[in-house]
């Protein structure tokens, strides 16, 4: 284990309560960092176990239309990585749930991986997932930087991953592993893929790390189905879209919290 252990602890706590961890995703700065702070507060109150904060990027090749639009709004509002780190340190005073930044590599590379790790750690970030940085490419520069600051490097695995690749992620990653439920980009889907349960079971047997499943989950029913087989369920686009659609409403925060609480409740296995 290389991080401070907050991610591992969050998954362990959920397991003790016989539920999967609820892992919501939001795009930082969509539509402003201030709003993101409020939404994260609502998520924490609604029972989020781990919070993923997206770092907006101009060319998000792994994202569907909802997260693309969210990144565009965040960038249009002038969101910068340094601002996101400041937001995390402010959130930290109120929110205990571990926070993972979900980014593309170029903003991190430009910031400087070592400098990023230092600042992220000081802000209270717990882990980093770079969608376009597989363990091979992370090895030289990013992994040592993260480890030196006790941040968890979180990696993706996918239905196309071979056994060798699962092993590479097992060696390089810590905190948890993010299993992409299907080949494709982020976004809501009507149904979960047929083979998901058996794929996740096989993965959990092969790994010592908790396995969270994401990409395509939006309803409490889907979260419940994932919770039966995985250690965590990630919901992204559905929450991003909900917050955007209700952005102008005075009761956005309670509405959003209620939506999140329903998803969180669906993680109970009993």
Partner 1 sequence: MKWARNRRGWPDRAGRFGGYGGRYVPETLMAPLEELARAYDHARRDRAFKRRLDDLLASYAGRPTPLWPAERLSHEVGGARIVLKREDLLHTGAHKLNNALGQALLTRAMKKDRVVAETGAGQHGVATATAAALLGLEATVYMGTEDMRRQHVNVERMRLLGAEVVGVESGSRTLKDAINEALRDWVTNVRTTHYLLGSVLGPDPFPRMVRDFQRVIGEEARVQLRRRYGRRSPDLAVACVGGGSNAIGLFSAFLGDPHVRLIGVEAGGRGHRPGEHAARFGGGGAAVGVLHGTRTRVLQDAEGQIAATHSVSAGLDYPAVGPEHAALAELGRIEYTSATDREAVAAFHLLAETEGILPALESAHAVAEAVRRARRLSRRALVLVNLSGRGDKDLESVLAYDRARAEAAP
Quote the least distance from Cβ 199 to partner 1, whole Å.
13
Quote the least distance from Cβ 128 to partner 1, whole Å.
14
Out of 30, 49, 52, 188, pick the active-site residue. Answer: 52
* Among 8, 88, 180, 240, contact with partner 1 (rule: CB under 8 A): 180
Q: Is 52 a catalytic residue?
A: yes
Restricted to residues 198-257, the positions that interact with partner 1 (CB under 8 A) are: none
Total Cβ atoms within 10 A of residue 262: 13
Q: How far apart are CA 73 and CA 183, in angstroms?
A: 26
Beta bridge partners of 54: 27, 102
Restricted to residues 118-147, the positions that interact with partner 1 (CB under 8 A) are: 131-134, 136-137
Quote the least distance from Cβ 58 to partner 1, whole Å.
4
Quote the least distance from Cβ 108 to partner 1, whole Å.
7
Which residue in this structure is represented by tokens 């995985």? 230
What backbone torsions phi and psi does residue 267 show, to the nearest 5 degrees?
A: -80, -10
Peptide bond into 31 cis (omega under 30): yes
Nearest C-alpha neighbor of 136 from the set 168, 110, 112: 168
Q: How far apart are CA 187 and CA 200, in angstroms?
A: 20
Q: Which is nearer to partner 1, 131 or 229 (by Cβ)? A: 131
Q: Which is nearer to partner 1, 101 or 263 (by Cβ)? A: 101
Q: How far apart are CA 22 and CA 111, in angstroms?
A: 30
**Strands ordered across the beta sheet of 232-235:** 152-153, 127-130, 99-103, 51-54, 21-27, 232-235, 211-214, 177-180, 155-157
Instruction: Establish if 197 lies at the interface with partner 1 (CB under 8 A).
Output: no
Q: Rounded to an integer, what is the distance from CA 88 to the centroid of its chain? A: 14
* Among 68, 123, 149, 174, contact with partner 1 (rule: CB under 8 A): 68
DSSP code of residue 55: P
* Among 15, 35, 38, 80, contact with partner 1 (rule: CB under 8 A): 80
HSE-CB of 100 using CA atoms within 13 angstroms: 31
Instruction: Establish if 157 lies at the interface with partner 1 (CB under 8 A).
Output: yes
Instruction: Establish if 192 lies at the interface with partner 1 (CB under 8 A).
Output: no
* Among 29, 64, 124, 216, contact with partner 1 (rule: CB under 8 A): 64
Does residue 238 contact residue 244 with C-beta atoms inside 8 Å? no
Quote the least distance from Cβ 23 to partner 1, whole Å.
17
Residues within the interface to partner 1 (CB under 8 A): 57-62, 64, 68, 75, 80-81, 104-111, 131-134, 136-137, 155-162, 165, 169, 180, 183-185
Residues noted as catalytic: 52, 63
């Amino acid at each position: 284990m290389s991080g401070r252990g907050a991610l591992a602890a969050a998954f362990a706590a959920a397991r003790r309560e016989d539920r999967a961890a609820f892992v919501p995703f939001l795009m930082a700065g969509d539509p402003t960092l201030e709003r993101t702070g409020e939404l994260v507060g609502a998520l924490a109150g609604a029972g989020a176990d781990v919070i993923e904060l997206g770092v907006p990027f101009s060319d998000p090749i792994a994202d569907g239309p909802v997260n693309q639009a969210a990144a565009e709004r965040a960038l249009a509002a002038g969101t910068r990585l340094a601002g996101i780190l400041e937001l995390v340190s402010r959130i930290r005073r109120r929110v205990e749930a571990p926070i993972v930044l979900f980014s593309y590599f170029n903003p991190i590379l430009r910031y400087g991986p070592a400098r990023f790790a230092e600042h992220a750690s000081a802000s209270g970030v717990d882990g980093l997932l770079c969608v376009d940085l597989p363990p091979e490419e992370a090895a030289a520069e990013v992994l040592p930087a993260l480890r030196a600051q006790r941040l968890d490097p979180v990696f993706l695995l996918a239905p196309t991953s071979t056994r060798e690749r699962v092993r590479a992620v097992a060696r390089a990653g810590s905190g948890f592993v993010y299993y992409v439920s299907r080949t494709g980009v982020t976004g809501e889907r009507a149904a979960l893929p047929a083979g998901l349960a058996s794929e996740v079971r096989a993965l959990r047997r092969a790994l010592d790390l908790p396995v969270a499943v994401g990409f395509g989950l939006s309803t409490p029913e889907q979260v419940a189905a994932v919770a039966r087989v995985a250690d965590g369920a990630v919901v992204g686009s559905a929450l991003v879209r909900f917050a955007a659609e209700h952005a102008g409403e005075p009761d956005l925060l309670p509405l959003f919290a209620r939506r999140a609480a329903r998803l969180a409740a669906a993680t109970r296995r009993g």
